[in-house]
Amino acid sequence: MRKRFLLTGLAAMSLLVSAGCGGSSPTATAPLTAVQAPVDQVPAGTTTELFTSNVIYRIDPNIVVSMPDMNADIEVFDQNKPYVPQDVEDYMIQVHTCHLGIDQNSMSALLNNYVFNFAGCPISNLSVTCQNGTIDIKATLTKLGIPIPTELEGTLEPNGQGQIVFHPDTIKSAGIPVKGLMDLIGMDVANLINSAPDRGVEIQGDDMIMYVDRMLPPPEIRGKVMGVTVTPGEIVMDFDDGVHRPLPPLPTPAKNFMLMWGGNILINNTLNLDAKFEMIDETPDDPMYYYMPVYRQALQAGFSVDRADGATVVYLPDVTGTAAPSNIFTPQLPIE
């Protein structure tokens, strides 16, 4: 066991020396591949305005984000189809303004399961730790078939164009300090990462550019991150594309809600034209917990009211995991 460890350590050190960890930059044999942005579909269907307040949104079984407020548009690609929530490939969400928080565990899952999860990717086993103003990323970097423990610590800053820049100030590979990101990963790895632009990460020199709106799984998200704050355990991103508009009048006043306003919406085989569809948290003392893949089960566990003014108000139980509560909620009548 000791002999194997020494051989692995020597091999890792030889890789580090060849990568330039001794202070000299490696000789570039080819220019860094420029990222070609994915071709975006152009929505041709109806648009539904989306507003949220005090919502904890589960993206998948391992990723949860907080949305204390969001102002967005749901835009359907096909002009002949309504918005159907579960058909996530058929629409996009244009985020105008939003404070979006993601905890370090969810960020780790996002990087592992989506961003760096493609064929041939040499980066794996990522773990993110958020401090005051900095993040620490531990990962495994495989070079020449040898897995090397790697650690990067640095800052997240918006670049003013809608992306976030991760600049590692401290880099260690197999416990040995490395001068810069390119010295660590090399040109071939950087070009491989840049060849998958839909994953949301681009290498520019010693910086990692994060296109947050490309990093998330479907539905497609478009938006600009213009501010970012790192606190212990969490990253908070401020989306703002310059479109600011007031909240429409709520059909029913509520603290925690999701409001869909306008457009055509198909919910449980009921078509809402020029929709006014409000989802309200049954337990407003804490945030509204929502997981879209089980929204039909959540509807069954809650109840809905079709109002005389054409609005539909749905009272939903919290979905704190990946399964909706099985109990049927009985409302206290009368309901306004």
- Over residues 73-116, the pLDDT tens digits come to 999 999 999 999 999 999 999 999 999 999 999 999 999 999 99
d(CA 21, CA 11): 14
Average pLDDT, the chain: 88
Looking at the structure of the chain, the number of domains it has is: 2
pLDDT at 300 over 60: yes
In a shared domain, residues 75 and 189? no
Among 27-41, 86-100, 191-205, the range scoring the smallest mean pLDDT is 27-41
Do 51 and 137 fall into the same domain? Answer: no
Q: Is residue 193 part of a domain?
A: yes
Percent over 90 (pLDDT), the chain:
73
Domain that holds residue 9: 2-22+104-217+225-234
Q: Is 70 exceeded by the pLDDT of residue 31?
A: no
Provide the residue count of the chain.
Answer: 336
Q: Quick one: which H or E segment has residue 170?
A: strand 164-173
Q: Are residues 112 and 92 in the same domain?
A: no
**Mean pLDDT (whole number) for 195-205:** 91
List, for residues 117-174, the tens digit of each pLDDT value: 998 899 999 999 999 999 999 999 998 899 999 999 999 999 999 999 999 999 999 9
pTM, two decimals, is 0.86
| Bond from prior residue into 293 cis (ω within 30 degrees of 0) | no
Residue 255, C-beta contacts closer than 8 angstroms, at least 6 positions apart:
53, 54, 281, 284
Q: Based on the domain organization, do 12 and 144 belong to the same domain? A: yes
Instruction: Classify residue 200: in a domain, yes or no.
Output: yes
The answer on pLDDT for 51 being more than 70 is yes
**Is residue 92 located within the same domain as residue 149?**
no
Please indicate, yes or no, if residue 9 is contained in any of the structural domains.
yes
Does residue 6 have a pLDDT over 80?
Answer: no
Last residue of a domain, one of 204, 234, 264: 234
Query: What per-residue confidence (pLDDT) applies to 35?
Result: 65
Same domain as 180, residue 163: yes
> Same domain, yes or no, for 10 and 147?
yes
The phi and psi torsions of 109 (rounded to 5 degrees) equal -65, -40
Residue 176 lies inside a defined structural domain of this protein: yes
Do 123 and 199 reside in the same domain of the chain? yes
Residues 8 and 127 both lie in one domain: yes
Q: How confident is the model at residue 175 (pLDDT cuts 50, 70, 90)?
A: very high
Same domain? 210 vs 251: no
Is 204 among the domain residues?
A: yes
Q: Tell me what pLDDT residue 220 has.
A: 93
Say if 308 falls within a structural domain.
yes
If residue 100 lies in a helix (H) or strand (E), which one and from where to where? strand 91-103
CA distances from 44 to 110, 112, 127, 308 (A): 30, 33, 40, 31
Please give the average per-residue pLDDT across 11-29, as a whole number.
41
> What is the sign, positive or negative, of the torsion defined by CA atoms of 137, 138, 144, 145?
negative
Please answer whether residues 86 and 268 qualify as being in contact, where contact means their C-beta atoms are separated by less than 8 angstroms: no
Read off φ and ψ for residue 87, nearest 5 degrees. -85, 70
Which residues are 265's β-sheet partners? 83, 272
